[in-house]
C-alpha cells in the first residue's frame, strides 16, 4: 500500500548510555510493564464491588475487564509494526501518558459509561507500551546483557500477571475499587519522567512507512470474534451452535489473514519470523504458562475464601506467596539465561512447574495451609525462572524486534484470556461431574464438589505444562544436535 512520509528512528545504541542509565530505563519500562499487565487481572476481584457501587448488573460490570484485554490484543500487532518503522521510544512514552490518563479517569468514574471510556483509553496506552518495551530493552542493552535485562522485565511482567488477586484483595480490604486504578498514576508519572530525561536522543531518517490495512482489519475482526466467542461461551456453553459458528468464522478469518500477509509487499506481520523454531516454541509455551497462571487467579480466591473461609485480606496475603518468590527468581534466571541459554533455563522452570501443579491437583481442605503456601511459592519460583522473553527476542532478527515484542505480549494476553475461560469452564464441568448435574455457581452446600472440580481443572493445567516441557526439551535437543553436528 502507498506509504506515508514519516521519520524512521535510528538509535544511537546502548554503547552511548552509561550502565546506570541503562538500569534506570529498565526500571522505568518494567514499572510500566507491571502496571499494564496487572490491570488485566486485578480488576477481576473488584468487579462485585463495582457492580454494587455503580448499580449495574454483574455481567455488565465484567466488560470493564474484557474491553481492556480485547483492545490490547487488537492493537498490539499494529503498534509493533509501527514501532519497527518509526521508532519504539516515542510510542512507548506516548502510551505511558495515555495509560496514566486512562487510569486517572477510571479512578474518578462514577458511572459505567465513563468507566468504560476511561478503560478504553487505558487499553490504548497499554497496547502501545506492551508492543515496544521488549524492543526498547534489546535496543539500550548490549547483547550479552539481554537475558539479564529481559529477566528483570519478566519479573515485573509475571508479577503483574499473577499478583492481581493478592494485591487487589489487600487494596479492597483497606480502601475501595477506585484505588486499584489510582495506584497507577504516581508510578506512571515517575516512569515517564525517568524515560523523558534518560532515553537516548535519536537521529531521524525519512523513509516510506506503510501499514497493510487490509491485513490489519482482517486480524482485528478475527480477534474480536474470538474473544466474543470466548466470553459468550462462558455464559451459554461452548457446545452451542452460535459459539461453534463464531469460532469457525474466526479460523476462516485467520486463514484469510495469513493469505493476505503472504502476498502483501509490506505485511503487517512478516510470517518468516515463525520459521524460527525457537521463536515459535517460545510464543506457544508462553501462552501455555500464562494460561496456567490464570487458573490460580480464577480458582484460588474461591478455594481460600469460600472453601477454607479465609477473609479477603488473609486470602490476599496467602496468594502473595507467588509474586514474592517470583520477583526474586526472575532476575536470577535472567542472569542464568545469559550463561547457559534461555531455552535450558525455561526447561528447568517447566520441570519445577510440575511440583506445584501436583499440589493443586491433590490438595484437600484437611491439609495444613502450609502445603498450599509451599505450592504457591513453588509456582512463583517456576514462573520467575521461565525465561521465554529472552528466548523469543533472541530468536527474532534485529529488524523484527518491535513486532517480536508485540507478538510476545499478544501471546501473554491471549494466554491470560484463554486461561481464565478454560479455568472457569473446566472448574464447573468438573464440579458437574462430581454432582451429577450441570453447575454454574459455587456449590456452597457441597464444598467437596468444588474441590473435585478444582482438581479436575488443575489436571488440565498440569497437562499443558507437560506439553510445554516436551516442546522445550525437543528444542534444546535440536539445538544441542546442531552445535555438535
Q: Identify whether 248 is part of a domain.
A: no
350: nearest Cα among 469, 463, 460? 469
Q: How many separate domains does the chain show? A: 1
Q: Identify whether 259 is part of a domain.
A: no
**pLDDT per 10-residue tile (average), the chain, 485 residues:** 36 53 85 82 78 80 83 90 82 93 93 93 92 82 79 77 73 85 90 81 58 91 90 78 93 94 85 87 92 86 87 81 84 82 90 96 92 94 84 76 81 84 86 82 82 94 96 90 74
Q: Identify whether 232 is part of a domain.
A: no
Q: Are 375 and 359 a contacting pair, CB within 8 Å?
A: yes
Q: What is the CATH number for 366?
A: 1.20.1250.20
Q: Identify whether 12 is part of a domain.
A: yes
Query: From residue 262, how far is each of 12, 259, 265 by CA, in Å?
Result: 33, 5, 8
What's the CA gap between 23 and 141, in Å, rounded? 9
Contact residues for 342 (Cβ-Cβ < 8 A; gap 6+):
147, 387, 388, 389, 390, 391, 394
Calculate the CA dihedral of residues 390, 393, 394, 398 and round it to 10 degrees: -150
327 phi, psi to nearest 5 deg: -70, -20
Range of the domain at 337: 4-212+264-479
The confidence score (pLDDT) of residue 208 equals: 67
Q: Identify whether 95 is part of a domain.
A: yes
Q: Are 54 and 176 a contacting pair, CB within 8 Å?
A: no
Q: Are 114 and 62 a contacting pair, CB within 8 Å?
A: no
What DSSP element (H or E) covers 5?
A: strand 4-11
Q: Identify whether 249 is part of a domain.
A: no
The confidence score (pLDDT) of residue 207 equals: 63
pTM above 0.85, yes or no: no
What DSSP element (H or E) covers 139?
A: helix 133-140
Q: Identify whether 152 is part of a domain.
A: yes
Q: Identify whether 251 is part of a domain.
A: no
Is the C-alpha dihedral spanning 10, 16, 19, 20 positive or negative? negative
What DSSP element (H or E) covers 371?
A: helix 369-385
What DSSP element (H or E) covers 204?
A: strand 202-209
What's the CA gap between 36 and 134, in Å, rounded? 14
The confidence score (pLDDT) of residue 201 equals: 65
What's the CA gap between 236 and 457, in Å, rounded? 19
Amino acid at each position: 500500500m502507498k506509504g506515508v512520509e514519516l521519520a524512521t528512528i535510528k538509535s544511537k545504541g546502548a554503547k552511548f548510555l552509561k550502565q546506570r542509565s541503562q538500569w534506570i530505563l529498565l526500571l522505568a519500562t518494567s514499572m510500566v510493564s507491571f502496571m499494564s499487565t496487572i490491570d488485566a487481572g486485578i480488576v477481576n476481584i473488584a468487579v462485585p464491588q463495582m457492580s454494587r457501587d455503580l448499580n449495574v448488573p454483574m455481567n455488565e460490570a465484567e466488560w470493564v475487564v474484557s474491553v481492556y484485554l480485547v483492545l490490547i490484543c487488537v492493537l498490539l500487532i499494529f503498534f509493533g509494526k509501527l514501532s519497527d518503522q518509526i521508532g519504539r521510544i516515542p510510542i512507548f512514552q506516548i502510551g505511558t501518558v495515555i495509560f496514566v490518563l486512562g487510569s486517572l479517569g477510571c479512578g474518578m468514574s462514577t458511572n459505567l459509561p465513563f468507566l468504560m471510556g476511561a478503560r478504553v483509553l487505558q487499553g490504548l496506552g497499554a497496547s502501545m507500551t506492551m508492543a515496544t518495551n521488549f524492543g526498547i530493552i534489546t535496543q539500550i542493552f548490549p547483547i550479552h546483557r539481554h537475558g539479564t535485562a529481559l529477566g528483570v522485565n519478566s519479573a515485573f511482567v509475571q508479577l503483574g500477571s499473577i499478583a492481581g488477586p493478592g494485591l487487589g484483595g489487600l487494596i479492597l480490604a483497606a480502601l475501595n475499587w477506585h484505588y486499584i486504578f489510582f495506584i497507577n498514576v504516581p508510578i506512571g508519572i515517575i516512569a515517564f519522567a525517568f524515560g523523558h530525561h534518560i532515553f537516548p536522543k535519536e537521529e531521524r531518517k525519512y523513509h516510506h512507512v506503510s501499514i497493510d490495512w487490509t491485513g490489519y482489519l482482517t486480524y482485528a475482526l478475527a480477534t474480536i470474534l474470538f474473544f466474543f466467542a470466548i466470553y459468550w461461551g462462558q455464559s451459554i456453553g461452548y457446545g452451542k451452535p452460535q459459539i461453534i459458528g463464531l469460532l469457525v468464522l474466526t479460523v476462516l478469518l485467520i486463514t484469510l489473514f495469513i493469505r493476505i500477509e503472504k502476498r502483501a509487499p509490506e505485511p503487517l506481520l512478516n510470517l518468516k519470523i515463525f520459521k524460527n523454531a525457537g521463536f515459535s516454541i517460545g510464543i506457544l509455551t508462553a501462552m501455555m504458562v500464562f494460561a496456567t497462571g490464570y487458573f490460580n487467579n480464577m480458582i484460588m480466591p474461591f478455594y481460600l475464601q469460600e472453601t477454607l473461609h479465609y477473609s479477603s485480606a488473609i486470602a490476599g496475603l496467602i496468594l502473595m506467596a507467588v509474586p514474592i518468590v517470583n520477583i526474586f527468581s526472575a532476575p536470577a534466571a535472567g542472569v542464568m539465561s545469559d550463561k547457559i541459554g534461555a531455552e535450558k533455563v525455561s526447561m528447568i522452570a517447566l520441570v519445577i512447574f510440575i511440583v506445584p501443579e501436583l499440589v493443586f491437583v491433590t490438595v484437600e481442605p484437611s491439609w495444613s495451609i502450609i502445603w498450599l503456601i509451599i505450592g504457591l511459592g513453588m509456582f512463583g519460583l517456576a514462573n520467575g525462572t521461565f525465561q521465554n522473553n529472552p528466548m523469543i527476542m533472541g530468536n527474532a532478527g534485529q529488524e523484527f524486534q518491535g513486532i517480536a515484542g508485540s507478538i510476545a505480549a499478544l501471546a501473554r494476553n491471549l494466554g491470560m484470556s484463554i486461561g481464565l475461560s478454560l479455568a472457569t469452564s473446566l472448574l464447573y464441568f468438573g464440579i458437574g461431574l462430581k454432582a451429577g448435574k450441570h453447575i454454574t455457581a459455587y456449590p456452597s452446600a457441597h464444598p467437596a464438589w468444588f474441590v473435585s472440580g478444582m482438581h479436575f481443572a488443575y489436571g488440565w493445567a498440569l497437562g499443558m505444562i507437560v506439553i510445554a516441557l516436551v516442546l522445550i526439551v525437543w528444542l534444546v535437543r535440536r539445538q544441542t544436535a546442531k552445535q555438535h553436528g
